[in-house]
């Protein structure tokens, strides 16, 4: 029912703060109250005025009830004389009283001034310009004073005017109703003047006054004027009791009526922007439909603060302002809820805006697991408790705003398990879901909700969507432009969030665009960048896109582009490295698991072989001169190329790795042996430090011995000399050994490590 209200509530004509005047549009069931109030004002009171007070807080709807009362009074036959007293126009009390008497007399069809009074007024009006030359006689020394005296003699006192007006009312035999609004907005002296008029000066026959105001504010103002006691407000309330004969409190709007009224205003703002929360359309974030997520979170998170129609109007105006600025750039549901936070909990809104890292951290779960989550939770709880105490939040409001924060920032569930779980906060969303839904909890989108704009160094969602929908001719250039504006890593990360949602045709185009931009991807300098650098992100994205292609045949067609991909040698190498892991389904500690490819085993093998072949030929080509061996030109990759790839490709090039390497070692053993053994070492790196080569692993040593046999050992031993090598001379990983230590490592392993079973070189030992 609540969602239906959001979608079908009648749209009001405006969201301004003007009071409603048509009882047919009564949103809070106050028409019956206004009808009864009109009946009270019409009760006979022939000898004294009737004074009714309508008490209510600012924004609760007092002015609307006054309009409804007037509507009922005008329906009476014959209608009473209705007068609106506006104290705002007259700062001086005598001016207020005189204007009131004149209005009332005019409403009764009478004139207050007699002929003599009118003549005196005319004399002073027309003679004033002639004062410099006009004289009333020889005895007059000051013409202006003489002229003033004429006017004063002719003018009646306020008491005389009161008596005249009262007689007009008696003679007219009509009921007079005086409506006075916004008394609580006047200055103290004006408040006093209104009540002096009502009780002391304008106590007319057959007259009723209806005054609308906030009782506490008016009592305080009157008390400060008439009393010097510490409890001036109580004295002011006693003063009111002497004047107000019928103190009536404005009926409180029912919470459900306020909610319906507020949602009608929200719906108008949505329709103005051609936006409707579809009850059948799920959010990208979770499975809950848009309308359900907003309606339930709004009801539970805002109801304690939705107390007056005015605050509902303020909220509607806030979203009318923000929606056009951010339409299509943020989640509409999140925007509605963020503006609710701003309107109903402004102190919490300001705190959230100033602490993005606390609410959008991508590492909350890691911090929780490492023990740091307790510190973050304590900081958040302490800050909120301070805000609640400083601004007098009720217990109900505290619970509601905590629940609203969990809806907006789902990851808070990791830290704040004691907070209430409102609708929409029951799951912890991952970064991809938050990004795809343009949620405020996404680090990329957070600032948009508070700045009402897209940062100059960011890309709008419309521009990003246009890029994803571009064809294969324009998209590559568009990708390079995005990478230049956002940064490569940010662009790739943003793309990764959208891959699960891309149609197959867009996925194919994006695969080709990323592949042909391989020259943009920086080579990793250490193992950390192998896992999370720009090249690693691009390769993971390519594999994801490849896995989303629906058929194995299409996957094979796209994969055939990989071996000859443009870009650096390192890109092709790490692509091969990732494919081997992918097909073996054995991700390393550094690399996350990727989706399984549908390629058949034979296609997988052909893809690996084709990539390895291209990589080897490229390395040999880049080594260039025959005097530069591959293990010197590509030292970090030589072990893979010489000991793994080349032996699996005996025809490319002919002769194999042994025939290629041994001549270099034999011609210049003093320099080439240690360079070759270094290139066969394991690739390592420290935290943030570049790659370096350690000693070969045992597996690598077994490969060396299997491929090169005793000739390699004899070269090493001959160069090193007959000196015995002990285990103490062996350098353990991950240290980077000296050239001499590399020779010692190889000799000691050759002489002490047993041969693997069924080794093909056993016969040569």
Which CATH number does the domain housing residue 184 bear?
Answer: 3.40.50.300
At residue 126 the predicted structure's pLDDT band, cuts being 50, 70 and 90, is: very low
Ramachandran assignment for 685, one of left (phi > 0), alpha (psi -120 to 50 degrees), beta (any other):
beta
691 and 544 within one domain: no
729 and 583 within one domain: no
Spatial contact of 514 and 558, defined as CB atoms under 8 Å apart = no
Spatial contact of 426 and 292, defined as CB atoms under 8 Å apart = no
At 764 the pLDDT is 40
Helix H or strand E encompassing 55: strand 50-55
- Does residue 139 sit within a domain? no
534 and 465 within one domain: yes
Burial class of residue 40 in the structure, from the number of CB atoms within 10 Å of its CB (0-12 exposed, 13-18 middle, 19+ buried)? middle
- Does residue 315 sit within a domain? no
At 407 the pLDDT is 86
335 and 245 within one domain: no
Burial class of residue 168 in the structure, from the number of CB atoms within 10 Å of its CB (0-12 exposed, 13-18 middle, 19+ buried)? buried
**Cis geometry, peptide bond prior to residue 653 (ω within 30 degrees of 0):** yes
- Does residue 53 sit within a domain? yes
- Does residue 159 sit within a domain? no
At 202 the pLDDT is 66
401 and 488 within one domain: no
At residue 340 the predicted structure's pLDDT band, cuts being 50, 70 and 90, is: very high
485 and 423 within one domain: no
At 594 the pLDDT is 60
- Does residue 156 sit within a domain? no
As for how many domains the chain has, the answer is 4
Domain boundary among 206, 228, 249: 249
Spatial contact of 448 and 318, defined as CB atoms under 8 Å apart = no
Q: Is residue 398 over pLDDT 60?
A: yes
pLDDT digit string, tens, across residues 544-588 = 888 888 887 888 888 888 777 777 888 888 887 877 777 776 555
210 and 230 within one domain: yes
Helix H or strand E encompassing 53: strand 50-55
At 42 the pLDDT is 87
d(CA 736, CA 602): 40
**Selected residue with higher pLDDT from 419 and 308:** 308
497 and 476 within one domain: yes
472 and 445 within one domain: no
Domain boundary among 451, 468, 491: 451
Q: Where are the alpha helices (DSSP H) in 499-645?
A: 504-515, 527-532, 534-548, 552-559, 569-584, 601-623, 630-633, 638
Strands 683-684 and 692-693 come out as: antiparallel
Six token digits for residue 467: 């890029």
At 702 the pLDDT is 92
Residue 380 belongs to domain spanning: 284-300+323-451
Which range (237-246, 283-292, 756-765) has the least confidence?
Answer: 756-765
Diameter over CA atoms, the chain? 154
- Does residue 759 sit within a domain? yes
At 423 the pLDDT is 46
468 and 443 within one domain: no
**Selected residue with higher pLDDT from 147 and 465:** 465
d(CA 681, CA 698): 10
Residue whose C-alpha is closest to residue 524's, from 637, 621, 629, 646: 637
679 and 619 within one domain: no
605 and 490 within one domain: yes
Spatial contact of 515 and 562, defined as CB atoms under 8 Å apart = yes
- Does residue 607 sit within a domain? yes
- Does residue 572 sit within a domain? yes
Ramachandran assignment for 324, one of left (phi > 0), alpha (psi -120 to 50 degrees), beta (any other):
alpha
d(CA 452, CA 444): 14
Six token digits for residue 262: 């507020």
Q: Is residue 477 over pLDDT 70?
A: yes
Domain boundary among 451, 483, 504: 451
């Amino acid at each position: 029912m609540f969602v239906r209200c959001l979608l079908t509530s009648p749209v009001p004509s405006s969201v301004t703060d003007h009071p409603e005047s048509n009882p047919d549009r009564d949103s809070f069931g106050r028409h019956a109250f206004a009808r009864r109030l009109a009946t009270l004002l019409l009760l006979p009171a022939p000898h004294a005025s009737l004074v009714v007070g309508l008490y209510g807080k600012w924004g609760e709807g007092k002015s609307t009830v006054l309009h409804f009362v007037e509507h009922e009074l005008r329906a009476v036959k014959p209608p009473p004389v209705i007068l609106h007293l506006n104290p705002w126009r007259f700062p001086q009390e005598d001016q207020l009283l005189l204007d009131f008497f004149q209005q009332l007399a005019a409403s009764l069809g009478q004139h207050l001034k007699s002929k003599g009074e009118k003549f005196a007024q005319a004399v002073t009006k027309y003679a004033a310009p002639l004062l410099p030359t006009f004289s009333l006689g020889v005895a007059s020394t000051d013409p202006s004073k003489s002229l003033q005296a004429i006017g004063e003699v002719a003018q009646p006192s306020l008491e005389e005017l009161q008596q005249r007006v009262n007689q007009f009312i008696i003679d007219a035999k009509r009921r007079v109703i005086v409506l006075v609004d916004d008394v609580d907005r006047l200055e103290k002296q004006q408040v006093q003047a209104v009540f002096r008029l009502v009780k002391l000066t304008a106590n007319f026959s057959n007259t009723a006054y209806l005054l609308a105001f906030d009782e506490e504010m008016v009592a305080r103002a009157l008390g400060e004027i008439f009393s010097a006691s510490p409890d001036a407000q109580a004295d002011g309330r006693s003063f009111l009791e002497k004047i107000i004969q019928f103190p009536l409190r404005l009926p409180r709007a029912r919470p459900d009526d306020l909610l319906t009224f507020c949602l009608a205003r929200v719906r108008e703002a949505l329709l103005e922007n051609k936006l409707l929360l579809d009850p059948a359309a799920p959010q990208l974030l979770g499975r809950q439909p848009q309308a359900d997520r907003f309606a339930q979170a709004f009801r539970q998170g805002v109801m304690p603060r939705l107390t007056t129609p005015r605050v509902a109007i303020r909220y509607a105006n806030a979203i009318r302002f923000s929606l056009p600025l951010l339409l299509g750039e943020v989640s509409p549901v999140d925007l509605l809820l963020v503006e609710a936070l701003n309107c109903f909990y402004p102190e919490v809104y300001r705190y959230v805006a100033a602490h993005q890292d606390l609410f959008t951290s991508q590492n909350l779960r890691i911090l929780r697991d490492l023990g740091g989550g307790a510190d973050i939770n304590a900081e958040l709880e302490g800050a909120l408790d301070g805000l609640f105490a400083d601004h007098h939040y009720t217990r109900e409001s505290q619970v509601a705003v905590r629940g609203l924060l969990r809806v907006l920032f789902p990851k808070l569930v990791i830290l704040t398990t004691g907070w209430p779980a409102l609708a929409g906060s029951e799951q912890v969303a991952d970064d991809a879901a938050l990004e795809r839904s343009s949620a405020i909890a996404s680090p990329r989108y957070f600032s948009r909700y508070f700045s009402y704009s897209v940062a100059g160094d960011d890309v709008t969602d419309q521009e990003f969507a246009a890029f994803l929908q571009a064809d294969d001719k324009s998209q590559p250039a568009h990708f390079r432009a995005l990478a230049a504006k956002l940064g490569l890593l940010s662009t790739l990360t943003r793309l990764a969030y959208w891959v699960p949602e891309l149609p197959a045709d867009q996925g194919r185009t994006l695969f080709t665009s990323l592949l042909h931009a391989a020259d943009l991807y920086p080579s990793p300098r250490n193992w950390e960048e192998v896992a999370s650098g720009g090249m690693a992100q691009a390769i993971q994205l390519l594999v994801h896109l490849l896995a989303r292609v629906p058929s194995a045949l299409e996957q094979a067609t796209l994969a055939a582009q990989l071996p000859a991909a443009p870009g650096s040698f390192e890109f092709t190498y790490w692509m091969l490295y990732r494919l081997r892991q992918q097909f073996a389904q054995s991700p390393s500690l550094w690399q996350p698991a990727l989706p399984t490819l549908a390629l058949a085993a034979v296609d997988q093998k052909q893809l690996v072989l084709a990539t390895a072949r291209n990589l080897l030929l490229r390395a040999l080509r880049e080594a260039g001169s025959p005097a530069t061996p591959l293990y010197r030109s590509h030292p970090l990759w030589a072990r893979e190329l010489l000991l793994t790839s080349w032996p699996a490709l005996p025809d490319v090039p002919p002769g194999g790795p042994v025939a290629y390497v041994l001549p270099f070692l034999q011609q210049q053993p003093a320099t080439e042996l240690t360079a070759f053994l270094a290139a066969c070492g394991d690739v390592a790196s420290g935290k943030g430090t570049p790659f370096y080569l350690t000693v070969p692993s045992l597996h690598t040593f077994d490969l060396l011995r299997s491929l090169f046999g005793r000739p390699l050992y004899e070269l090493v031993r001959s160069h090193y000399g007959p000196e015995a090598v002990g285990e103490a001379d062996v350098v353990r990983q991950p240290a980077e050994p000296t050239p001499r230590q590399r020779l010692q490592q190889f000799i000691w392993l050759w002489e002490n490590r047993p041969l693997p079973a069924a080794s093909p070189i056993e016969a040569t030992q």
